[in-house]
Amino acid sequence: MEWRKITLVNEQIVHGILDAILVELQSIDKSLSLLPGGFCVFAGRAPDEETLCLYFSPPAVPYIAELTSRYCGVPCEKPLKKDIESLLFGYGDSCWALLDS
Per-residue pLDDT of 47-80, as tens digits, reads 777 899 999 999 999 989 999 999 999 999 999 9
Return d(Cα 17, Cα 78) in angstroms, integer.
23
* φ/ψ of residue 52, rounded to 5: -110, 130
pLDDT of residue 21: 93
Cβ-contact 69, 21 below 8 angstroms = no
Q: Other C-beta atoms within 10 Å of 79: how many?
A: 19
Domain that holds residue 32: 3-100
Q: How many domains does the chain have?
A: 1
Model pTM? 0.90
**pLDDT over 70, % of the chain:** 94
pLDDT of residue 26: 87
Does 33 have pLDDT greater than 70? Answer: no
Return d(Cα 36, Cα 63) in angstroms, integer.
10
Does 92 have pLDDT greater than 70? Answer: yes
